[in-house]
């Protein structure tokens, strides 16, 4: 029972942290690049060039990964690599486009190895979907108190 009483506040706090991170990320931009490699391409060179993008001002996060094959009809598994870059804001995305590190990655790794790519840019939305942070925190606290009451009631 003691473990449950400790666990619930921790879960509550972690949920609030995730919610707050979502709210704080509003205004950020995600840049998704889906790549189809040329036959015999140097996949490692493309991946390595992606890690250098972290050095560009305004870049918050960079991740790259290989496709996750799926037999679901709605999933396109025909690509080879996907890159996701998160930026502070739209201005940072626009500056990235002409930054020397990005241009070098294009010239040295992308152009020689990538046959085709598609780019999707999007603004990150507020996870609150119209709720204020205070409302979300109150709702989580209430839910945690309900869970804690249930645990105490079951213990007696």
More confident position, 25 or 14: 25
pLDDT of residue 150: 72
Residues 63 and 86 in one domain: yes
Cβ–Cβ < 8 Å for 31, 119:
yes
Residues 75 and 5 in one domain: no
Say which CATH number the domain at 92 has. Answer: 3.30.70.100
Residues 51 and 118 in one domain: yes
Q: pTM for the whole thing?
A: 0.65
Measured CA to CA, the distance from residue 114 to residue 34 in angstroms comes to 10
Residues 18 and 32 in one domain: no
Which domain range does residue 35 map to? 27-124
Residues 141 and 97 in one domain: no
Whether the predicted pLDDT of 21 surpasses 60: no
Split into its structural domains, the chain has a count of 2
Measured CA to CA, the distance from residue 114 to residue 81 in angstroms comes to 10
Whether the predicted pLDDT of 109 surpasses 60: yes
What is the torsional sign of CA 82, 88, 94, 98? negative
pLDDT of residue 99: 97
Residues 94 and 145 in one domain: no
């Amino acid at each position: 029972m003691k473990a449950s009483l400790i666990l619930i506040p921790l879960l509550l706090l972690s949920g609030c942290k995730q919610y707050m991170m979502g709210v704080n990320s509003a205004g950020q931009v995600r840049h998704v690049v889906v790549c189809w490699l040329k036959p015999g391409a140097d996949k490692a060179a493309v991946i390595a060039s992606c890690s250098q993008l972290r050095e560009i001002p305004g870049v918050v996060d960079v991740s790259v990964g290989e496709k996750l094959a799926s037999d679901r009809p709605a999933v396109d598994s025909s690509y080879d690599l996907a890159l996701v870059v998160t930026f502070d804001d739209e201005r940072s995305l626009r500056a990235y486009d002409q930054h020397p590190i990005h241009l070098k990655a294009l010239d040295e790794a992308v152009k020689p190895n990538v046959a085709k790519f598609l780019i999707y840019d999007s603004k990150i939305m507020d996870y609150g979907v119209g709720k204020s942070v205070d409302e979300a925190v109150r709702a989580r606290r209430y839910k945690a108190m309900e869970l804690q009451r249930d645990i105490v009631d079951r213990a007696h």
